[in-house]
Each structure stands twice: as structure tokens, then as C-alpha cells.
Amino acid sequence: MLNFIKHQQTTYIKVPTKLMFEIVKNVDEYYQFLPGCSSSKTFNHKSNNFEGELEVDYKLFKSSYISKVTIQQHPQFYQITSISENNTVFKMLKSVWELKGDEKQCQANYSIEFLFKNPLFQHASSLFLKEIVKSTSNAFEIRAYKKFQEFQNNQFQKENLEVKIMVDQEKSKNYDQLNRLLNKKLINEQQLDMVLKNKEILTLIKQMQNLYQDQNQADQKCVEFIKEYLLLQQFKI
């Protein structure tokens, strides 16, 4: 009589627990990173469960099977259970991911138990069990770090874009102020061009504009400052 083969492993991964949860439950993408998985898809989605089909080609074993996946979510704790019973391959296959932690680290508890219908497969899998579990666990860990890096890169790009937008808006405000001086013929185009190329003077002009409530007085003071500044910089005015 064949006995169930069981194994459990705990890994600490320095990524947000929520991110690890999203990776484990996203069965549709398993084929992209899981060793021996050539195809993965899901269907019959409900509020907290769905069915997933995997095609596996690992060493001497090649087949496909369907599992029912159940998801439980709690504050800072997630459980994803996958069960496949009485199909062409397994009498029963059950895997459970228990994830807990915070935004900095995830404790991933992975357990698996199975019973093949074919005694030869059952015997062969017992010989390679540790290797299979280790490669599976490593694949999820690498995927988590890769996705976390992508998230950080996207966040960095988003922050840079926000900063660029703020800078562009500030430049636009400065340009509006200077363009008003140009339209009033208080400065000429050459002076305008020189000022726009100088970040330091743009900052000072902005500060000066904020010192005066009267717009005409502020404009006049800015013009005087621009001419004095450019003269000191040995520009032709």
C-alpha cells in the first residue's frame, strides 16, 4: 500500500507579504518562472476560490492536472491551498502556502503532500522530493525579489516624474513672469534667453516676485535685478 509523501519548508523573504501573496495566487503566470511548468491557466473564478490547470514536464514525469485553489485573507496573514484529487495523475495532491509578515519581510511556510496513482512515479518522486521542493521554493523567492525590484524601479520612476512635473510647472511659472516683462518691453529677448539658461537667477527672481504685493513694483525690481545680475556676469545687455 502506498503512503502519502509529505514535506514542509519555511523561508524568510525580504519582500512585502502582500507582494508574495499576489505572486502565489497568480497561477496564470506560473509557467513564466516555475521549473517544469510549461503551461498554467485558471478558470471558474469565484470570490475566494478558482480552478487552475498546470502542465508539468519534469524529469520522467509529463502530464497535466486541475486543482481547486482556495484563498484565505487576514490582516498580515494569507493562506493559499491547492487540492487536486482523483485525476489521471494523482489520487491526491495538496499544497499550502501560509504567508505572514509585514511590508519588510514575509515568512513563507510551504507544505506539500501527494499520492500518485502510479507506484513508479510515487517511488521516483520520493527520491527527488527535496530537490523538487527546493527548486519550487527558490523559484517563488526569485520571482518575489524580481517583482519587488520592478516595483521599486517603477516607484522611483514615478517619484522622478512627479519631481519633473513640479520642476516643469515651476519653470512655466517663471517663464510666465519673464514673458510678461518681455511683453511690457522691460527686458529684451536676448536678456530673456540668458535668464532662462540660469537656474540661480530664476530662483532669485521667483523669491523677489514674492516679496512685493504690487505687480508693477515687483516687475520693476526684477528688471533692475536682471540687468545688474547680467552685468556682473559680464553679459552684454
Same-domain status, 121 and 216? no
173 within some domain = no
> For residue 83, is pLDDT > 80?
yes
Side chain identity at 65, as an amino acid letter? Y
Higher per-residue pLDDT: 210 or 4: 4
Same-domain status, 148 and 192? no
C-alpha cell at 225: 535685478
Domain with 77, as residue range(s), is 5-155
At 33-80, the pLDDT tens digits run 998 899 999 999 998 999 999 998 876 678 889 999 999 998 779 999
pLDDT of residue 144: 93
Higher per-residue pLDDT: 169 or 101: 101
Same-domain status, 137 and 42? yes
175 within some domain = no
At 186-228, the pLDDT tens digits run 777 777 777 777 766 677 666 666 666 677 777 777 777 777 7
Number of separate domains in the chain:
2
Same-domain status, 211 and 111? no
pLDDT of residue 122: 76
Indicate the residue among 114, 140, 155 that finishes a domain: 155
Residue 140's SS3 state is helix
Per-residue CA distances from 93 to 26, 114, 115 (Å): 19, 4, 6
Q: Which H or E run contains 6?
A: strand 5-13
